[in-house]
Structure 1
Amino acid sequence: MDGKIQRVTIIGGGFSGAMLAARLAEGGIASTLIDRGGDFGLGVAYATPFDGHLLNVRSNRMTAVEGRPDDFVSWLTQHHPDHAAPEGFAPRRLYGLYVQDRLAAVDAACPGLISRVLGEAEAIDGAAVRLADGRVVEGDAVVLATGNPTPKAASSGEVEGRVIGDPWAPGALDRIGPQDDVIVVGTGLTMVDMVLWLEARGWRGKAKTLSRRGLTPRGHEARPDAAIAPTDVLLKAAPSQRLHEARRLSGDANWRGMMEGLRPITAELWQAADTRTRARLVRHLRPWWDVHRHRIADGIAAALAALQAGGRMTVTAGRVSRIEQDADGVSLSFKPRSGPAQPPLTARWLIDCTGPGHDPAKDPLTGPLLASGRARLDALRLGLDLDAQGRVLDADGATDPRLLVLGPPARAAFWETIAVPDIRKRIEDMAKTLGGETAA
């Protein structure tokens, strides 16, 4: 068809998809939200029922609407005043309710512009999406906003026995007894969520955690840190000099302020970097970047420190060699990052917290796009190759105006694309792009 894009099909009804639908409706563009779970606006992160799962960003930076910085805090003040501290870290459950409220409010104000479809997207053909039950959703453009995929161990199917492959699956932790020891593979944000959730459920066992480098998320300070303006060396020098400068700035002031100074321009720095520089960042710096950049609330950091001080949580650096299990428990053999060999870790259960299993080539939606040449992987094979507006590039590098990517699946193009402040900016840019796009 010719003419402006009038309806967008959005695959994924979590934060990214729902808030894009709301923003498009405010601009007069209709959309169809497809979600297989039906909890539109929540996704995995905000569907948690546990109020101990807190936001990792202060409330005054968590508005869902670009240009309205007080939106979330105002909503908290009206609906949940006990959690309305602007510099506090509200429960993620409440943030999910806020997102759903915004979606509902825009839906009411813009009748007929937001449609919701419960179903699982199975294939993309042009700008049409076929669902698993055979239905076809038509539109002028498609946006992939599918969030993070399931963990690596669970991505090929259900993991049975004493290995809990997807800790976010309903009832996944129910089998763990109050005194059961657990092995946790992965020491990032998912590990933090699972250990604290177990603790709140009355669990008093031990957590033996393992990751390749043994790094855990750093905590925020009780008060916000002022951003330190990046120097020219930090922005323009060779990678090794940049790292030296980051360490110098951190020593002269504080590392949190240095990270805050980089936050608004991280995507631009990533896009400006050549492939060799990106590869070095991914290979050598990313684990340290992640634990310093994606920090946890100060109270949660203190709770983890208390578990470690009390001997109930250990952190080991090493690579998994073998996992064995029987009716009584599980054993994990590993190669230490340094030092002599160590005995296997043993426990009643193993929880996989290694993070999302990003592999577009194996994904049922994006795999066929890659095979047909409609899409291609980026040079580092981190994800789909996109232009600066989030539009998919085909095998020849041409832009596809009818196929776009938003949120975590767009990480290859933007690097930082999982936190609300970053996705919020992408939503604003994408709404403008779609508003000015002409359907082929």
Structure 2
Amino acid sequence: MNHVAIIGGGLSGALQAIHLVQEGVSQVTLIERGRVPGRGVAYGTGRSEHLLNVPARRMTAFPDRPDHFVDWFEKTAGGDAEAYAPRMAYGDYITGLLAETGDRVTIVHGEATDVVAAADGEHVTLSDGREIVADAAILALGNLRPALPGRIDVAALGDAWIGDPWADLRVEGLGADDMVVLIGTGLTAVDTILTLDALGYQGRILALSRRGLAPRAHEAREPIVAPQGELPSNCVALLRRIRRRSQEVGWRSAVHELRSITQDLWRKAGDIERRRFLRHLRPWWDVHRHRIAPAVGATVDRLERAGRLTFAAGKIVSINPEAGGAAVAWRARGTDRIETVHAARIVNCTGPELDIVRAGEPLFDALLSSGRIQPDPCRIGIDVDPDTLGAIGRDGAASGSLFVIGPPTKGAFWESIAVPDIRAQTDALAKRLAA
């Protein structure tokens, strides 16, 4: 294929463009609606306290050059292979690689609203009426906007509500007697906690989720452990095995044993087993598998020990505006006790929306309406062919010219948000399209 259009200029889209050029595709158009191409949400942060969740040795952009990022990191920042680099530094790395593609990649600023197949290729329509015609189109939209918690009147909360913690977080006017309530206890909440602390906020933080689980931290240096023996695909049997191995080698190694084969286990599991995992085990998998840097873990521990940070399992009963913030009533998990706290700020840390039907994205709405895409059976992304990454339409057939990469492919691979997973996808798809 001579011309490939990529919709989404974050990490997934930028890596795809870089690999397409490397494989000899003559023309690549990268469409980005708002952010600096190559950064996206994760790597567009301007906060030095936001660190990568894996060491530098695993963050190369090229599968055949494992030391590429380490070499760059050492030269530009004096880092080393075991360091957890600032995410904004990794953004610098990717944008630098994108710049090296020169005029082989054309960056178009605008919002894609539809992709229509025609005899002469894929027609990408932009919101301002422009149209780009390419031999193939790739959806690289990354993580969707945060899901909005139900039954919250955001408009009534005014300045007390912070819907985008990366863009709108502010501490002006907050003192040591104030409280910030985070809805969610995952990686988004950790980012928010780090920034509040770095901005000098001295008050209390209450992080709430149904189970109250927070991401665990990496050890200073963790061994790379290969899977041991035949692994069951049944959720219950696999959980028992991990528990047994945790007693033998420690829980970090027990979880890491599955790292290289997680996608294989997911692909072998049927829809019933996948839904069982999502319903019962996913929260525990997330906090043990997607760990945070040791320095980040140390900051979280310090705030907890000081009594300034509490992770709690519970459910919000009501949020009512009041002077200087809002009254948040919540019920602790497993009890009937309702506690009410005054929140000067409420931050949406629920993480990205997964259901493309509810996402409110004009492009998804158009493609769903035309039947070119559909939700995967578990409704955690877009249905794709795991072998070709072609989007599966309403007719059940995989497209040969409309492809999907990155986080929206969770339904096919489960593990599709980390750089090593996205790197593998973009490299394989680039080779396929170039051939």
- TM > 0.5 between the two? yes
Q: Alignment partner for residue 269 of structure 1, among 250, 265, 270? A: 265
Correspondences of 1:330-369 after superposition (within 5 Å): 330-361=326-357, 362-369=360-367
Write the distance in 2 (CA, Å) between the matches of 1:250 and 1:161: 45
Q: Alignment partner for residue 122 of structure 1, among 104, 113, 120? A: 113
Write the distance in 2 (CA, Å) between the matches of 1:201 and 1:375: 42
Q: Are 1:138 and 2:133 matched, yes or no?
A: yes
Write the distance in 2 (CA, Å) between the matches of 1:407 and 1:208: 32
Correspondences of 1:210-359 after superposition (within 5 Å): 210-232=208-230, 235-236=231-232, 238-359=234-355
Write the distance in 2 (CA, Å) between the matches of 1:257 and 1:61: 17
Q: Alignment partner for residue 52 of structure 2, among 33, 36, 55? A: 55
Q: Are 1:92 and 2:87 matched, yes or no?
A: yes
The CA deviation at 1:175 is: 4.5
Letter in 2 for 1:91: P
Deviations 1:108-145 (A, max 9, x none): 4xxx3211011111222221111111111111111111
Please give the TM-score of this superposition, normalised by the length of structure 2: 0.93
Write the distance in 2 (CA, Å) between the matches of 1:145 and 1:154: 25
Query: Partner of 1:80 in structure 2?
Result: 77
Write the distance in 1 (CA, Å) between the matches of 2:255 and 2:323: 47
Query: Partner of 1:418 in structure 2?
Result: 417
The CA deviation at 1:291 is: 0.3
Residue aligned with 1:208, SS? strand
Is the Cα contact below 8 Å between 1:176 and 1:349 reproduced in 2? no
Letter in 2 for 1:135: R
The CA deviation at 1:154 is: 8.7
The 1:176/1:57 distance shift into structure 2, 3 A limit, reads farther
Write the distance in 2 (CA, Å) between the matches of 1:121 and 1:384: 17
Deviations 1:9-63 (A, max 9, x none): 1111111101110110111112100111241111011111111110001011011
Letter in 2 for 1:162: A
Q: Are 1:153 and 2:148 matched, yes or no?
A: yes
Letter in 2 for 1:189: L
Correspondences of 1:147-186 after superposition (within 5 Å): 147-153=142-148, 160-169=158-167, 171-173=168-170, 175=172, 177-179=174-176, 180-186=178-184
Structure 1, gaps ≥5 residues long: none
Write the distance in 2 (CA, Å) between the matches of 1:168 and 1:176: 19
The CA deviation at 1:403 is: 0.9
Query: Partner of 2:61 in structure 1?
Result: 64
Is the Cα contact below 8 Å between 1:128 and 1:139 reproduced in 2? yes
Query: Partner of 2:395 in structure 1?
Result: 396
Give 4+ residue runs of structure 1 displaced > 4 Å after superposition: 154-159
The CA deviation at 1:177 is: 2.3
The 1:219/1:14 distance shift into structure 2, 3 A limit, reads same
Identity %: 42
Q: Are 1:34 and 2:25 matched, yes or no?
A: no
The CA deviation at 1:292 is: 0.5
Query: Partner of 2:204 in structure 1?
Result: 206
Query: Partner of 1:7 in structure 2?
Result: 3
The CA deviation at 1:339 is: 2.5
Deviations 1:159-195 (A, max 9, x none): 53311111122x4325462433200110001111111
Is the Cα contact below 8 Å between 2:9 and 2:38 reproduced in 1? yes
Write the distance in 2 (CA, Å) between the matches of 1:158 and 1:15: 30
Write the distance in 1 (CA, Å) between the matches of 2:370 and 2:411: 20
Letter in 2 for 1:367: D
The CA deviation at 1:264 is: 1.4
Write the distance in 2 (CA, Å) between the matches of 1:176 and 1:360: 38
Question: Aligned pairs, how many?
Answer: 423
Query: Partner of 2:193 in structure 1?
Result: 195
Residue aligned with 2:258, SS? helix
Is the Cα contact below 8 Å between 1:58 and 1:89 reproduced in 2? yes
The CA deviation at 1:282 is: 0.5
Write the distance in 2 (CA, Å) between the matches of 1:142 and 1:178: 50
Write the distance in 1 (CA, Å) between the matches of 2:229 and 2:280: 22
Residue aligned with 2:283, SS? helix
The 1:237/1:403 distance shift into structure 2, 3 A limit, reads closer
CA RMSD of aligned residues (A): 1.9
Quick check: 318-327 or 378-387, which moved more?
A: 318-327
Is the Cα contact below 8 Å between 1:383 and 1:410 reproduced in 2? yes
Structure 2, gaps ≥5 residues long: none
